[in-house]
Structure 1
């Protein structure tokens, strides 16, 4: 059985740890390898490697840095099938979903290649009489990225690494310990593209060793994706140690379904959002708030379409719903479904007894739908992070919007309607950071920030878009004054010289 290495200072290294994480193929349940719980010393060595690489890398002209990232993009495309299979085997995404995961890494890399333009500052001649001011954007040093299990390519190598490196920083990635294979492989592609040693480092470890990154004086910032409880802890701990932080956290995304919708097409959008990636994404639609007039018809159509979803192993290209990523979470979802039943919700579609022939040991849960879910039920308030959809019934638009805004999470919110008035009112008044109008997964393209609100995000600057460039740089303002012959003779200078 393969024991994975970690990637530090430009090479794959054997860990000195005695503790390893078992890696599983979620479609079969089989053990596929072992990932090291890197020691605290090894994590610190990765930080030291990144620190040592920073002076030279930050002094490399931005155009030359982006040339390496252009080559990374080419390598991602050249290895698309290999990387897609890695994501499918370690995470459980279906083939098309896994391919999309890698394509999103490519998209983030393309954003990073625009660094020569997006790192530009501003300037103003005669900001005050005779005084010129220029603002530059400069790299900061070593950043750490802390990665979840659910997107092995997109999050570390679409959201975190490319812009960080393009801006002239160096990076230590804490890959997800249960799905690290894709991240470690892509690190090798960065090396092949010509990235200098130490600029990118990838470790796998526990929360205990990860704390080194939150407290280490040479780490300038932390970018994190994961649960709200952990994200809040990381935000408080790292910020308390003087670091810049962006923490993208969990959600409980709702869609408001108005009675004027085209029913079949709307349900198809809901199905895609709720059950795609087996519901394991922070933009998954977990609740539908449906006008009472069409609620029965909506639920009936929802069940009909959900039953048609083909469930199968991740790498089979005909599969439309793959397994849950790891066994412990699989059991958590089953427990959440049981909790919903005990709380009194109507289980109208039960996916717990899902068995895929030939893959009986896989972590499969079929589409699951609860009807008549209320706000006093935990399944209606908290994220399940699986293929489970809750239906809440309301009298009208106003009641639905109020219900949605009462939730403490606000990653995304959606309305399905043919009314321009209600669509506009929804966009204006929803708390959601990413809003969809007849779009079930309102994730903007990578050139726009991924902007969660409320308990779905802690920090000031979101990932992707122009926010990413602001997060990974700090501004420096330079004011210049050149004396003419008369001014050279002046012997007195005003307290407010050049400022008013």
Structure 2
């Protein structure tokens, strides 16, 4: 995530401070071991650890001019409001509840495999993970059954073991929260099609494992359908047509990503024009833009006006200056 911002910041002449998540500090420590081998000016890139006190110190420091953030929506809103109140530029990327629509004219076998990778990659702990899967006109349950069989075949375990396709969630608190949300969905009327709770992996009995889970017919008027689970849980709903699917997609408070699987160019065009999300995927499960394009997010998925990556990042990390000069040999102005 840091590399959505860091290269652009130093390329435009800035020093850069990285404050990694206190839950996963080791990755950035390893990266800084590599960065320290480069012939860069001392202090150009710095690493600071800590929790909220460190965050507030950054947000309040008068010499820090801009803040980039990726995390949950409540924290993104806090970062944006406090940072801007202190006169800083802020780009704060928040949470997501990414919908994926699958139409009956799609390649169902391949589409369901791609969708499963999107939902359960990184155990669902990423901002572009698919969350709510919307099957359209699936009266014979061909799409649902294909999704079920694909998901059921995935293996949970220690990531370095052969054949494992999904590892644990980040910590015991996340495991407890996710399992609580699964139960909440059931209490709200959803059918537990595949239960990943109470998963035990031999040799790693104390691990924070939750196997792939599917909740079918999640209530559209209850809380779970709008809650970012951030875990290996698929919310599966059925709608009649693409118009109903688009209406559902656009009704959410988040706008990070929306994808559709279809064999119809007309449906694809309609979706990319009408879906209210910053990153749109057509027959793609994770609509992550390449570096030359901004990592867009809309609504409660982003606070700010210039996103990470692409031209947005160059503009964000640049303080513009306009200089107007004249050097005539003979002055033409008369007073």
Match of 1:171 in 2: 16
Q: Which residue is 1:422 aligned to?
A: 267
Query: 216-225 or 204-213: which moved more?
Result: 204-213
**In structure 1, what is the Cα distance between the partners aligned to 2:165 and 2:134?**
25
CA distance in 2, matches of 1:288, 1:423: 17
CA offset digits 1:344-384 (Å, max 9, x no partner)? 11110000022211111111111100111132122211110
Aligned to 2:96: 251
- Which residue is 1:56 aligned to? none
Question: Which one has the bigger helix percentage?
Answer: 1
Q: Flag the 1:350–1:462 CA change in 2: closer, same or farther, 3 A.
A: same
| Partner Cα distance (1:191, 1:254) in 2 | 41
The aligned counterpart of 1:329 is 174
Q: Does 1:198 align with 2:35?
A: no
Cα distance between partner residues in 1 of 2:40 and 2:33: 10
Alignment of 1:96-495 (within 5 A): 155-156=1-2, 158-294=3-139, 296-485=141-330, 487=332, 490-492=333-335
CA distance in 2, matches of 1:321, 1:210: 32
Contact 1:248 1:452 in 2 (8 A): yes
Instruction: Give the distance between the partners of 1:165 and 1:184, measured in 2 at CA.
Output: 19
In terms of fraction of residues, the more strand-rich structure is 1
Alignment coverage as a number of residue pairs: 335
Larger radius of gyration between Structure 1 and Structure 2: 1
Runs of 4+ in structure 1 off by over 6 angstroms are: none
Following TM superposition, by how much is the alpha carbon of 1:486 offset from its aligned partner in structure 2, in angstroms? 5.2
> Structure 1 stretches of 5 or more lacking a match?
1-154, 493-500
RMSD: 1.3
Checking the alignment, whether the CA contact within 8 Å between 1:177 and 1:204 is kept in structure 2 is yes
CA drift of 1:203 comes to 1.6
Q: CA deviation at 1:294?
A: 4.4
Matches of 2:140 and 2:118 in 1, distance apart?
19
354 and 477 in structure 1: CA distance in 2 versus 1, 3 angstrom threshold: same
Q: Verify the 8 A CA contact 1:295 1:393 in the aligned structure 2.
A: no
Q: Distance in 2 between matches of 1:200 and 1:232?
A: 26
Work out the CA distance in 2 between the residues paired with 1:325 and 1:162.
27
Secondary structure (helix, strand or coil) at the match of 2:36 reads: helix
Which range moves more in the overlay, 467-476 or 409-418?
467-476
Gapped regions of structure 2 (runs ≥ 5): none
Distance across 2 between alignment mates of 1:218 and 1:297 = 58
SS of residue matched to 1:336: helix
Cα distance between partner residues in 2 of 1:419 and 1:294: 19
CA distance in 2, matches of 1:413, 1:336: 22
Q: Give the deviation of 1:295 after TM superposition.
A: 6.6
Whole-Å separation in 2 of the counterparts to 1:316 and 1:398: 44
Contact residue 259 and residue 285 of structure 2 kept, 8 A: yes
